[in-house]
Structures are given as structure tokens and as C-alpha cells.
């Protein structure tokens, strides 16, 4: 088992959970700057798409140095695609590779990926093997061409390596993020299959695929699985319904996990990993900083995606109905700056 950075972390681990459509490079950068989570993950990225040469998917692998340790998360159903995707993640200088076996979305599960792999443990273990093999081949000196990476992606990857100053090749730890079952709780049997391939870490979301994100996370099931996982030297993180740092620490103690990933509670609140309670002005200024970074990295043609983040930063404000209504309609950075500066000045926010 290669554990890499996992053995350098301070325990308990409190990290930022990967969330599709939310935890893009800008969200993670602001969270790293103001929250300093133990670890971060990219949004899940399709291994088959990488194998097909989809250049846009490389945008999902953008990250900043402040995020480290940062893991590239991949998903899919074809083990051979994971060999290639693993080589790409390795070449881009991530600290680890995480395999998503937990997404419950119908579009993902129907193709045999995400949480549907719980029903196909043989395929799941083969995916872990291929992921490790792709990283090992890269670490031992194989070229991207030899590893089957599409020709059109290679110059883009090499340019990213040069920009980041990456020269080394390393064996990376491979981890898995999954759920406690498909339509019922089967987590004890399920993790036994995963442990056959000795992942460095297993993160368990305390819901089944059938539950999606409804109901309550079953932390007792996570706790039972944690005992099995710990007997092998693999670490385990829990995920689901954690409200804040204090809640995260309590879950670690109560349920015997090595750490917790915080998901939805981090929306608009990068400080959640700290003991700091931001003022209203701080929230607005960081919302503007987030919007500025988003415009720079994602471009203003995609700026409507920023709206949901702006609403998250202001969701706890008293009497902010007009402010939120205006932020819901923004289409560029200049509008955000004008609205936020005006609100600060007109409401005498200190």
C-alpha cells in the first residue's frame, strides 16, 4: 500500500468534500485560503472522457498550491480508461488519486459508474488495480504516449507541468469515496471487497444510492465499517450531515473515524474549517474575491455559474432580500462589485 501524504496529515482530518458543480478550482482556492481544510478533491472527472481526448475535462484538474494536499478525483465504468486517467492525474502533479464510487446521479449510475459499482465489486476492484497500474507506469518512467494518453492532451498536460514547475514522478496513494450501500446498507461486505486492493483511504458517505441526499446519514453504519477498515491499515473518513468544525470533531470521536469531509455546510462559508466567525463585511468581501477569481479563471461567459455562490455567501444575512435579488441576476464581475460595494457603503457595514 502506498499511503503518501496520508501519513503526513494531522489527525483528525477535516477536509472539503468533492461536489459536482460546486467545488471547482475557484471554490477550492477560496476555501484553502480562508479555511485551510486538511485535504481537497477536484470535482469528479470522467475517465472515459479523458481517454477520448476531451480537452475541456482538463479544466476540472486545475488547482492551486494553497490547496495541497489535493487529490484528482475520477469516475467511470471501464477499468482500462482508469489506467489512462490515472496517468494524467499523476502527470499533473496531484498528491493523490481518488476514485468516485459514490455518485448516485441516474446519468452516472445507469452507465455502471459511481455508486452502481457497489453492485459490481469485481469491476470496482479491477478499477482500483488499473488506477494503481497507470500511476505506477508513469512513476517508473513511461511516457504519456506509451500510456495511451490521447495525442491532443499531451501538449496541454506538458504545458501545465511546466507552468507548475513539476519535474518529479511519484507513486501516489489511491483512495475511494463511496456510499454505505445501493438500495440497502451493505457497507460491511462492500468495504471488504474494496480492501482487497488496499486503498490508502476509504471515504464513506452515510447514505445509500437509493436515498440520494435525502433522510439522514447513517453514522452507525460508517462506524461499523470503520472498525473493519482500520484492521487493514487503511484510514477512513466519514461524510454526511456534518454542520461545522465542532460537529466534525464530535463525529470523529463518537464514530471512530480518522476524519470527516464537510460538504454542503461549506457553501459560502470557507471559514467552516476554522474557529473564526466572519462578519457580514468579511463575507461580502470574500464573495467579491471569489467572483473576481472566477471571472479570471472561468471567464465571464460562464459567469452565471457564480450566482449560486454569491447567494450562499449572503444566505444568513438579515434584511438582505434586495441584495440577494440583485445578485441573482448578475452576469459579470462589474455588476457584482457595484452591488456589493453599494451594499457595504449604504448599510454602514464595518
Report the 10 Å Cβ neighbour count for 76: 26
pLDDT at 27 over 60: yes
Determine the Cα–Cα distance for residues 86 and 96; give it in Å rounded to an integer: 10
Check: CB of residue 239 under 8 Å from CB of residue 216. no
C-alpha span between 335 and 329 (Å, rounded)? 9
The whole-number pLDDT of residue 188 equals: 97
CA atoms within 13 A on the CB side of 99: 35
Number of H helices, E strands in the chain: 13, 9
Tell whether the model's pLDDT for residue 349 goes beyond 70: no
CA–CA dist 145, 127 (Å, integer): 21
345 pLDDT band, cuts 50/70/90, is confident
Q: According to the model, what pLDDT value does residue 348 have?
A: 59
**The pLDDT of residue 215:** 86
pLDDT at position 317 is: 83
Average of per-residue pLDDT across 51-63: 97
Torsion sign, CA atoms 31, 37, 39, 41 = negative
Residue 70 pLDDT greater than 90, yes or no: yes
Predicted confidence (pLDDT) at residue 117 exceeds the cutoff of 70: yes
Q: How far is it, in rounded angstroms, from Cα 224 to Cα 221?
A: 5
Q: Count Cβ atoms within 10 A of the Cβ of residue 201 and give its class: 0-12 exposed, 13-18 middle, 19 or more buried.
A: buried
| The pLDDT of residue 111 is above 80 | yes
Which whole number is the average pLDDT over 63-83?
97
At residue 56, the pLDDT reads 95
- DSSP 8-state secondary structure symbol assigned to residue 147: T
d(CA 29, CA 8): 21
Share of the chain above pLDDT 70, in %: 99
How confident is the prediction for the chain on average, in pLDDT?
95
Neighbours of 124 (CB within 10 A): 24
pTM (predicted TM-score)? 0.95
Q: Are 283 and 323 a contacting pair, CB within 8 Å?
A: no
Domains and CATH numbers, the chain: 4-272 (3.20.20.70), 280-346 (1.10.1200)
Q: Is the dihedral of CA 295, 299, 301, 304 positive or negative?
A: negative
Class of residue 1 by CB neighbours under 10 A (exposed 0-12, middle 13-18, buried 19+): middle
pLDDT in tens, 278-287: 999 999 999 9
User: For a pLDDT cut of 90, what percent of the chain falls above it?
Assistant: 91
Name the residue among 272, 311, 262 with its Cα closest to residue 290. 311
Residue whose C-alpha is closest to residue 52's, from 80, 91, 94, 23: 80
The pLDDT score that the predictor gives to residue 350 is: 52
Distance CA 62, CA 24 (A): 8
pLDDT band at residue 214 using 50, 70 and 90 as cut-offs: confident
Q: What is the pLDDT of residue 150?
A: 98
Identify which of 191, 192, 181, 249 has the alpha carbon closest to the alpha carbon of residue 215.
181
Q: What is d(CA 148, CA 131) in angstroms, rounded to the nearest whole number?
A: 14
Helices (H), the chain: 25-35, 47-51, 79-91, 106-109, 121-139, 154-164, 187-195, 219-230, 245-255, 280-298, 307-313, 321-327, 333-346
Residue 31, all three cell numbers: 476555501
Residue 328 has pLDDT above 80, yes or no: yes
Name the nearest CA neighbour of 206 among 268, 270, 251, 249: 251
Cis peptide before 12 (omega within 30 of 0): yes
Task: Identify which has the larger pLDDT, 186 or 297.
Answer: 186
Amino acid at each position: 500500500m502506498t499511503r503518501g501524504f496520508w501519513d503526513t496529515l494531522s489527525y483528525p482530518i477535516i477536509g472539503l468534500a468533492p461536489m459536482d458543480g460546486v467545488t471547482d478550482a475557484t471554490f477550492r482556492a477560496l476555501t484553502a485560503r480562508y479555511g485551510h481544510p486538511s485535504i481537497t478533491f477536484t470535482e469528479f472527472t470522467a475517465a472515459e472522457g479523458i481517454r477520448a481526448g476531451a480537452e475541456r475535462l482538463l479544466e476540472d484538474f486545475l488547482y492551486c498550491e494553497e490547496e495541497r494536499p489535493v487529490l484528482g478525483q475520477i469516475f467511470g465504468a471501464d477499468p482500462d480508461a482508469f489506467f489512462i486517467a490515472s496517468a494524467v492525474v499523476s502527470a499533473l502533479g496531484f498528491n493523490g488519486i481518488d476514485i468516485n464510487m459514490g455518485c448516485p446521479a441516474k446519468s452516472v449510475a445507469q452507465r455502471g459508474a459511481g455508486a452502481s459499482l457497489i453492485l459490481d465489486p469485481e469491476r470496482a476492484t479491477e478499477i482500483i488495480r488499473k488506477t494503481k497500474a497507470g500511476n505506477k507506469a508513469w512513476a517508473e518512467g513511461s511516457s504519456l504516449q506509451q500510456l495511451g494518453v490521447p495525442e491532443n492532451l499531451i501538449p496541454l498536460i506538458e504545458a501545465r507541468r511546466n507552468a507548475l514547475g513539476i519535474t518529479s514522478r511519484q507513486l501516489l496513494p489511491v483512495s475511494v469515496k463511496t456510499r454505505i450501500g445501493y438500495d440497502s446498507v451493505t457497507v460491511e461486505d462492500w468495504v471488504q471487497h474494496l480492501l482487497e486492493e488496499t486503498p490508502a483511504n476509504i471515504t464513506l458517505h452515510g447514505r445509500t444510492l437509493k436515498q440520494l441526499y435525502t433522510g439522514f446519514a447513517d453514522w452507525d453504519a460508517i462506524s461499523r465499517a470503520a472498525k473493519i477498515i482500520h484492521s487493514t491499515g487503511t484510514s477512513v473518513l466519514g461524510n454526511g450531515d456534518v454542520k461545522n468544525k465542532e460537529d466534525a470533531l464530535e463525529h470523529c470521536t463518537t464514530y471512530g473515524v480518522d476524519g470527516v469531509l464537510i460538504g454542503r455546510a461549506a457553501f459560502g462559508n470557507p471559514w467552516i474549517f476554522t474557529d473564526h466567525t466572519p462578519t457580514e463585511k468579511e463575507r461580502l468581501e470574500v464573495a467579491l474575491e471569489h467572483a473576481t477569481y472566477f471571472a479570471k479563471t472561468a471567464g465571464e461567459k460562464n459567469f452565471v455559474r457564480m450566482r449560486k455562490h454569491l447567494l450562499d455567501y449572503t444566505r444568513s444575512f438579515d434584511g438582505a432580500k434586495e441584495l440577494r435579488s440583485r445578485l441573482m441576476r448578475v452576469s459579470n464581475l462589474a455588476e457584482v462589485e457595484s452591488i456589493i460595494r453599494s451594499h457595504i457603503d449604504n448599510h454602514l457595514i464595518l
